[in-house]
A and B are shown apart, each in its own frame.
Chain A
Amino acid sequence: MKSPIALAVAVISGLIVLLGYFIPSPMLADIRTPMLDWAVILSGVAGLVAIIHLVFGVHSDRVKKEGARQWFSLVVILCFLLTLVAGLFLEPTSPIFQKVVTYIQTPIESSLLAILAVTLSFSSLKLLQRQRNWMGIVFFVTVILFLVINSGLLSFTDRIPILRDFLSGLQLIPTAGARGIVLGVALGSLATGIRILIGAERPYEN
């Protein structure tokens, strides 16, 4: 539902926070700091809303339906409840509760990252099949070269000044490329932010 109140809230809050970047006024800072704090709190609450929706919306719906996903969702819900209850009793600073991260989450995530080593290598096999153009070929050569450099197999080049300078110069290129990409992304961010601040884009309305 289109609401002028929501639009006003978005525009005014945004402008106050934005002005804080450019106008070093203590009065503005006094308003801006709690406003940013509220945004952090709301972001946390939004996170909770999303988690509740995930568990009690998406997965509990699936549990009610027949199918292969039923058990998957059941496991999600059970694990969530177990962790939540444990956390509520133990609190997050408890060393026992922290083992959830160090002995469950970390091994799973690290292993997933390890899987990536294989799957990305496998994807790279077909790299030139997908991107058979100048850009693809340059990318391909760079990947190989820098994998070799990262492995330390070219450490002997440290003794050869020309090679060392060449490799050092090569590492400048990403600086320029990244700077260009980052500036482009900043322009895109600026445009998106401004569209929201002038009310042209209102993702918060329904």
Chain B
Amino acid sequence: MENRLCPICSRQNNPQDTHCWFCNAELPPYTPGEDQPTDWLEELKNTDLNLEVSSSPIENNQDQNRSEKESEEFTPNWLQKIRSREASDREEKKANEERYWAEKRSKEGLPDWLRSLNEDANELNSIPEETKPDVEPEKEQPIESLKSDEGGNSIKADDWLDSLKTWQEPAEEKTEISSSQTENTPVASSPEEVPEDSQPLSEPGEDFDLNKIFLLSEEKSNQELSSNLPVEEEKKDELIEDQTILPEGFNPLDQLFEPIEDAAKSDVVTTEKEIADIESSKTLDSSPFLKNLDDVLPFDEFDQPLEQKEPEPKVEFEPEPNANLREISSEPSPEEITPLPVGEVKPFAVDMEKVASPFTPEETITEPFKLDDLPEWLADIKPGEKPSTPVKPKVRRPVVDDGTPMPEKGKLPVWLDARRPVEAVDLPIAIERPKPGEIAVEGEEVSKIPSESAIVAPAITGTPSELGEGLRVSNRQKTNAALLSVIATSVEPVEVSAGATVKIGNQSVWRSLLAVVFLLIAVLGGTILKDYYLQPELFPEEVVHTFTLVNTIPLDKPVLIAGDFEAGFAGEIRLTFQPVLEHMMRRDLNFALMAINPVDSALLENQITNGMTAVPSFDSASKVVDLGYFPGGAIAIQNMGNSFSNAVRLTADLVDTSTHEITKNVHLLSDFGAIVVVTDKSENARVWIEQIQPGLGETPLLLVTSAQASPLIIPYYKSGQVDGLVSGMPGGMIYQKILGSNTGGFESATSMQLTLGLMASLVLIGGFVSLVLPKTGGGKRQ
């Protein structure tokens, strides 16, 4: 092989080049016997996947040289054109390079910040002895070239673009290192091992630093921000560090889905026309994917867009798209950073990774593709497992790029297409053919979104649809998108309920009918059938015990009634608590009402008023004190457990509790005759049991709860932590029966039994029907 490989971007250059024609990185000295770099996919296939080269739709040739020859043999016209254009461009570049070298030689030294960057980069690049590959000197080169790149950035492009480049490089570099490692190691590692393997490389060897771990270097000075590069280097470290801890589905794309990430990166660079053009043409030479896809997709499919792209006029550097690009990559430009207050800008690298992380193939994988990683992805394409439906070229085929991409409203911008999360591909939609005559952006067919689904944020002027203007998608992206389509067609489409709307309509009818049945039963049970209910054979022990305890409450001590329930449960609580309250009123006990929930003060007062109709002798004015709303939830209850008089100083009428007739002798909760907690939630009850009960001594803790809380409270009653329990309407009815009163509830007993019976039948029928019907992807998905 005559060409020289760039250690940064892994692309081939002429042997005489000193700098990479694509990324301007310094090339290592040329050695005639230099090995071809292995790409990870090739390795993957050799080791893990065992794909049969001949049969796989994405087959990769084992013999790189052979593939080169083949590609030369079949070089189509369009490729020849591109290459001839490349040649002319190279000549132009050469002149620039010479100028650059001269400049570089004239430089006496590097600025401090760049030197430190170099050190950092070396540290980053340092490889443990045992794993250090032989090609280390070559690997040192990229850093050098990176340095020189940065040094010369004033020549080339604007600052932000350079910073973007440097940002890209660590990932590339890392891939390079890992591929070199595997090249030198007999036992090839799978791509998912790459981060682990390369982890030590990225480790600066520092010990635990809480700030770094948790804060991700949040305190950045303005100086650091403006000088960008050292910061970038730090972020690089973190980026690499985080790669090891990212969970499934959030591995950075450069590890898991390198080609797409590359494409995305190239996207960022496309604003510089030369790079963009070369990128697109060179991709055809070097991308393993293209070689694979050559078998799947006829060359003429790629022909058209490239030919159209070629005569494209030079794109001017426009500030607006650049700003958008910054947003895409989450890279704040220096101009944008400057006005920000110190510390408001998060480290870029971390953010970028975080932002990019959903676009990993893993998720795709969960549902339509059943893949966990890129390698597994490919693993799913078994030898000979070509798509059952032959790929329709027109569907996958990149459409004309007229050089002025104007994404339509409601469609994703090109850059997002390039970075789009694979898992989000709604396959039936994704392979939809563009409408005739529709001018679509390249690669758009993969990400075609129905316009009705795109909702534009109100009051936001610049949507990403607009932000995507002026961007182009490289051929690498196109090939990757095409690859996805190939894979997509081989996977069963996601089940989409076609008649969702109809079903929803039907559902509301069924639900209305069901509601009518429920209401009818409730009405009939409360009127005509009200005497036909089944009486319990035995009274529950806890209710009987509660009744006994209420009978033993000393008359000289007040009872604390704490309401901790929602207004929605007031009906059920009334039926449950009314007989207990009536019993206590009959005993002429004093009450202190406390509302843990703001509405309970009113509801408890209301129950006292109702009780007075049954017990008219009860004088609520002198027997009841309203302590009002007691805010603070659990901590307030805990405080009250420590000292009631300190925690509750005032009544609802702002009278001091220590002077009030009913509460003046109460200092601790144990000074009450009984604590009655009325609640609808088991969690609330648990707070009372855990925080209050241990300090109550002889004072009984009685719980009156909604039916929904009872299953989780009964164990506390059985273990003796709760002294009495009345729960739900049935509990209230039994208490009424023991008390010999009628506070309501008996009239509803039949309704209750019939309603619950109906519910049980419905669940049963629904269950059996469900077993017959196919499983849904989830009710919510409809």
A124 touches which one: B215, B535, B642, B763 (CB < 8 A)?
B763
Contact residues of B between 562 and 596, Cβ < 8 Å to A: 566-571
Chain A proximity of B638: nearest CB distance (Å): 8
Q: In the complex, what distance in Å separates the CA atom of A70 from the CA atom of B458?
A: 15
Chain A proximity of B101: nearest CB distance (Å): 44
A150 touches B218 (CB 8 A): no
Chain B proximity of A124: nearest CB distance (Å): 5
Chain A proximity of B206: nearest CB distance (Å): 18
B779 touches A93 (CB 8 A): no
Decide: A118 near B518, CB < 8 A? Known: A153-B757, A155-B535: yes
Decide: A109 near B639, CB < 8 A? Known: A153-B753, A158-B538: no
Contacts of B538 in A (CB 8 A): 158
Q: Which residue of A lies closest to B538 (CB)?
A: A158
B214 touches A199 (CB 8 A): yes
Contact with A along B771-782 (1 / 0, CB 8 A): 101011011000
Q: Which residue of B lies closest to A104 (CB)?
A: B567
B341 touches A1 (CB 8 A): yes
B602 touches A101 (CB 8 A): yes
Chain B proximity of A193: nearest CB distance (Å): 13
- Asked whether any CB of chain A lies closer than 8 Å to the CB of B452, the reply is no
Contact residues of B between 37 and 81, Cβ < 8 Å to A: none
Chain B proximity of A34: nearest CB distance (Å): 10
B778 touches A124 (CB 8 A): no
B776 touches A126 (CB 8 A): yes
- Asked whether any CB of chain B lies closer than 8 Å to the CB of A95, the reply is yes
Q: In the complex, what distance in Å separates the CA atom of A92 from the CA atom of B627?
A: 12
Contacts of A33 in B (CB 8 A): 639, 642, 646
Q: Which residue of B lies closest to A201 (CB)?
A: B214
A174 touches B711 (CB 8 A): yes
Q: In the complex, what distance in Å separates the CA atom of A109 from the CA atom of B567?
A: 6
- Asked whether any CB of chain A lies closer than 8 Å to the CB of B491, the reply is no
A171 touches which one: B567, B628, B711 (CB < 8 A)?
B711
Contacts of A132 in B (CB 8 A): 770-771, 775
- Asked whether any CB of chain A lies closer than 8 Å to the CB of B416, the reply is no
Q: In the complex, what distance in Å separates the CA atom of A156 from the CA atom of B535?
A: 9
A151 touches B567 (CB 8 A): no
Contacts of B507 in A (CB 8 A): 122
Total of A-B residue pairs, C-beta within 8 Å = 187
A129 touches B773 (CB 8 A): yes
Decide: A106 near B711, CB < 8 A? Known: A2-B219, A39-B632, A43-B631: no
Contacts of B219 in A (CB 8 A): 2
Decide: A105 near B567, CB < 8 A? Known: A40-B636, A143-B763, A159-B537: yes
B568 touches which one: A95, A113, A118, A146 (CB < 8 A)?
A113
Chain A proximity of B462: nearest CB distance (Å): 20
Q: Which residue of B lies closest to A21 (CB)?
A: B638
A95 touches which one: B605, B652, B712, B757 (CB < 8 A)?
B605
Contact with B along A68-100 (1 / 0, CB 8 A): 000000000000000000000000110100101
Contact residues of B between 745 and 774, Cβ < 8 Å to A: 749, 752-753, 755-760, 762-767, 769-771, 773
Q: Is the interface of B mostly helix, strand, loop or mixed?
A: helix
B769 touches which one: A29, A125, A155 (CB < 8 A)?
A125
Contact residues of A between 111 and 131, Cβ < 8 Å to B: 112-113, 117-119, 121-130
Chain A proximity of B218: nearest CB distance (Å): 5
Contacts of B601 in A (CB 8 A): 92-93, 98
- Asked whether any CB of chain A lies closer than 8 Å to the CB of B741, the reply is no
Decide: A121 near B775, CB < 8 A? Known: A105-B599, A153-B534: no
B763 touches A121 (CB 8 A): yes
Contact with A along B733-751 (1 / 0, CB 8 A): 0000000000000000100
Chain B proximity of A93: nearest CB distance (Å): 5
Q: Which residue of A lies closest to B459 (CB)?
A: A65
A151 touches which one: B341, B752, B775 (CB < 8 A)?
B752
- Comparing B136-144, B245-253, B509-517, B669-677, the segment that makes contact with chain A is B509-517
B756 touches A147 (CB 8 A): yes
- Asked whether any CB of chain B lies closer than 8 Å to the CB of A135, the reply is no
Chain A proximity of B178: nearest CB distance (Å): 31
B511 touches A118 (CB 8 A): yes
- Asked whether any CB of chain A lies closer than 8 Å to the CB of B343, the reply is yes
- Asked whether any CB of chain A lies closer than 8 Å to the CB of B603, the reply is yes
- Asked whether any CB of chain B lies closer than 8 Å to the CB of A110, the reply is yes
Chain A proximity of B679: nearest CB distance (Å): 15
A110 touches which one: B214, B511, B570, B763 (CB < 8 A)?
B570
Decide: A130 near B769, CB < 8 A? Known: A40-B632, A150-B756: no
Decide: A122 near B510, CB < 8 A? Known: A129-B775, A129-B776: yes
A110 touches B567 (CB 8 A): yes
Contacts of A29 in B (CB 8 A): 642
Q: Which residue of A lies closest to B626 (CB)?
A: A93
Contacts of A201 in B (CB 8 A): 214
Query: Other CB < 8 Å A-B pairs besides A2-B343, A29-B642, 4 of them?
Result: A106-B568, A106-B570, A151-B755, A153-B757
On A, residues with C-beta under 8 Å from B are 1-2, 29, 33, 36-37, 39-40, 43-44, 92-93, 95, 98, 100-102, 105-106, 109-110, 112-113, 117-119, 121-130, 132, 140, 143-144, 146-148, 150-153, 155-156, 158-159, 171-172, 174-175, 178, 182, 198-201
Can you sample 13 A-B contacts with CB below 8 Å?
A2-B343, A98-B606, A101-B599, A106-B570, A121-B758, A126-B770, A140-B763, A147-B756, A150-B707, A151-B760, A156-B537, A158-B538, A159-B537
